[in-house]
């Protein structure tokens, strides 16, 4: 196996901060972030889309590179590094189409009999409107291209569907990403995130987790990138995990291989577990770790993470033992700028970060930076990922909310959901 002097993490969110925290703890190696945030050290000022500069930096530092967000993957960063014989963990541009084109992903699933809801594809508003007006069930509308979690419209009625199509086709709010849409039948149930490490042949699933996509408590309001997560979730039983592996994960890797495309990296199936049947349906694929799922999953991992990532790059996952997890519960609460996912302000000084949160709470930074006075300020919609670990889910929630309550950047400027992981407690009670 190749030896590396350092690790390069591409991206700037809470996911990347937690990846760096875990890899640095496990290996003691220097971890660079491009571009990172105010919570990460060894930040380098290279944009995550500047593939050539990232390649040159990784080469100079003899770094093993891990890609956080989808954009550089969709631009072909892995192809670029592989051409130059540099080790990088993530899928190629071609394999990344599972996330970068919803149309590709839905057609792929239909062709391979991977469970997903029935759908049609449209590129003009009139046909799309006619379709939603005559379709007998509620629909979900998804723009084809990448949209940072903002391209999915879950519609309660025809009026909402018309509104979504207006935003996409007439107001052009999603720009290039919204030139085509998938209109799919809405499935009702509970969502879960199923994420695995893949090497093109073998698949090692990570611990189960559940994200909270809507902005408001009780899963109300528009979708966001994710407002909080917890791990594990009792929604995913052992039987259900086996079904997900057999019906979704293995056929996906095989289907891509049949197309001549090896999938190496994190394969993330965003699932709906249908109410009543308890059957898993794929809502979407992502080709990277989830954010904020990563923060709660990695808080529970006991194994040395890097050796799994290296084994995946070297196509040797089949020789690896299962990953070890602690038997604790983790909860990640995303603190956001008030107004997110719509309009919000940035540049607000964050107070309380220096508090003593105890050994089992980590404040992973998402959208933060240092201002010219050296103070840590808000810099995006999602600002901090407060992640706590405890023997019980209730305990992890209580630790997380107690920590979040000591951090402030202005009563009318900050926001977080108050019900992260409550669903998990409900599942345990219903068992």
Other CB atoms within 10 A of residue 213 CB = 21
The verdict on 99 binding ligand GLY (CB under 6 A) reads no
Among 79, 190, 199, 293, which residue interacts with ligand GLY (rule: CB under 6 A)? 293
Characterize 341-379 residue by residue with b for buried, 16 or more Cβ atoms within 10 angstroms of its Cβ, and e for exposed.
Answer: beebebebebeeeeeebeebbbbbbbbbbeeeeeebbbb
The dihedral sign for the CA sequence 166, 382, 18, 294: negative
Distance CA 139, CA 122 (A): 14
Q: Give every strand in the sheet of 280-286, ordered side by side.
A: 203-205, 189-199, 264-274, 280-286
CB of 3 to ligand GLY, least distance (A): 32
Question: Is 362:296 a contact under the CB 8 Å cutoff?
Answer: no
The verdict on 191 binding ligand GLY (CB under 6 A) reads no
CB of 412 to ligand GLY, least distance (A): 26
The verdict on 16 binding ligand GLY (CB under 6 A) reads no
CB of 225 to ligand GLY, least distance (A): 6
What track of x and - describes contact with ligand GLY for positions 112 through 151 (by CB under 6 A)?
-------------------------------------x--
Report DSSP letters for 222-251, one per residue. EE-S-SEEEES-TTS-HHHHHHHIIIIIHH
The verdict on 199 binding ligand GLY (CB under 6 A) reads no
Among 199, 211, 390, 414, which residue interacts with ligand GLY (rule: CB under 6 A)? 211
Distance CA 135, CA 129 (A): 10
CB of 275 to ligand GLY, least distance (A): 21
Beta bridge partners of 195: 268
Nearer to ligand GLY, 16 or 413 (CB): 16
Among 12, 40, 286, 379, which residue interacts with ligand GLY (rule: CB under 6 A)? 286
What track of x and - describes contact with ligand GLY for positions 215 through 234 (by CB under 6 A)?
----------xx--------
Cα 408 to its chain centre, rounded Å, is 25
Part in contact with ligand GLY (CB under 6 A); list of ranges 100-108, 156-164, 173-181, 285-293 = 285-293
At 351, which helix (H) or strand (E)?
A: none
CB of 199 to ligand GLY, least distance (A): 21
> Under rule CB under 6 A, which residues in 148-177 are in contact with ligand GLY?
149
Among 13, 290, 367, 424, which residue interacts with ligand GLY (rule: CB under 6 A)? 290
Number of residues in contact with ligand GLY, rule: CB under 6 A?
Answer: 8
Three-state SS annotation for 119-185: EEEECCHHHHHHHHHHCCCCEEEEECCCCCCCCEEECCCHHHHHHHHHHHHHCCCCHHHHCCEEEEE
C-alpha angle 49-50-52 in degrees, rounded to nearest 5: 135
Other CB atoms within 10 A of residue 331 CB = 30
CB of 211 to ligand GLY, least distance (A): 4
The dihedral sign for the CA sequence 409, 410, 413, 418: positive
Nearer to ligand GLY, 210 or 261 (CB): 210
Part in contact with ligand GLY (CB under 6 A); list of ranges 46-54, 159-167, 284-292, 375-383 = 284-292
Part in contact with ligand GLY (CB under 6 A); list of ranges 80-88, 121-129, 289-297, 389-397 = 289-297
CB of 333 to ligand GLY, least distance (A): 14
Question: Interface residues with ligand GLY (CB under 6 A)?
Answer: 149, 211, 225-226, 286, 290-291, 293
């Amino acid at each position: 196996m190749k030896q590396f002097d350092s690790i390069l993490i591409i991206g700037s969110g809470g996911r990347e901060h937690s990846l760096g925290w875990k890899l640095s703890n496990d290996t003691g190696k220097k971890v660079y972030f491009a571009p990172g945030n105010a919570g990460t050290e060894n930040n380098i000022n290279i944009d995550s889309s500047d593939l050539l500069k990232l390649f040159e930096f990784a080469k100079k530092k003899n770094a093993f590179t891990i890609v956080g967000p989808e954009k550089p993957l969709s631009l072909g960063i892995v192809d670029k590094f592989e051409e130059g014989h540099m080790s990088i963990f993530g899928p190629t541009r071609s394999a990344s189409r599972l996330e970068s084109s919803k149309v590709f992903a839905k057609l792929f699933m239909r062709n391979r009999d991977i469970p997903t809801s029935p759908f049609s594809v449209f590129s003009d508003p009139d046909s799309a409107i006619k379709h939603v007006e005559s379709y007998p069930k509620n629909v979900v509308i998804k723009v084809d291209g990448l949209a940072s979690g903002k391209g999915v419209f879950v519609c309660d009625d025809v009026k909402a569907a018309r509104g979504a199509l207006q935003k996409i086709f007439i107001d052009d709010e999603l720009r290039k990403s919204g030139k085509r849409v998938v209109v799919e039948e809405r499935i009702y149930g509970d969502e879960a995130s199923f994420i695995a490490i893949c090497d093109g042949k073998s698949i090692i699933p990570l611990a189960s987790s559940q994200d909270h996509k809507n902005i408001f408590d009780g899963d109300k309001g528009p979708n966001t990138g994710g407002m909080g997560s917890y791990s594990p979730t009792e929604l995913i039983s052992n039987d259900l995990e086996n079904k997900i592996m057999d019906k979704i994960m293995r056929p996906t890797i095989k289907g891509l291989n049949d197309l001549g495309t090896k999938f190496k990296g994190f394969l993330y199936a965003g699932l709906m577990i249908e109410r009543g049947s308890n059957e898993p349906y794929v809502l979407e694929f992502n080709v990277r770790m989830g954010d904020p799922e990563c923060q709660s999953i990695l808080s529970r991992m006991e194994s040395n993470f890097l050796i799994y990532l290296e084994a995946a790059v070297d196509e040797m996952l089949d020789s690896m033992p299962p990953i070890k997890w602690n038997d604790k519960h983790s909860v990640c609460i995303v603190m956001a700028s008030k107004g997110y996912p719509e309009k919000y302000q940035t540049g607000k000084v964050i107070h309380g970060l220096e508090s003593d949160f105890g050994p089992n709470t980590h404040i992973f930074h998402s959208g933060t930076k240092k201002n010219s006075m050296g103070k840590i300020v808000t810099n995006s919609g999602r600002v901090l990922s407060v992640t706590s670990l405890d023997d019980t889910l209730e305990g992890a929630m209580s630790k997380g909310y107690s920590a979040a309550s000591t951090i402030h950047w202005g009563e009318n400027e900050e926001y977080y959901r108050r019900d992260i992981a409550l669903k998990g407690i409900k599942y345990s009670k219903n068992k």
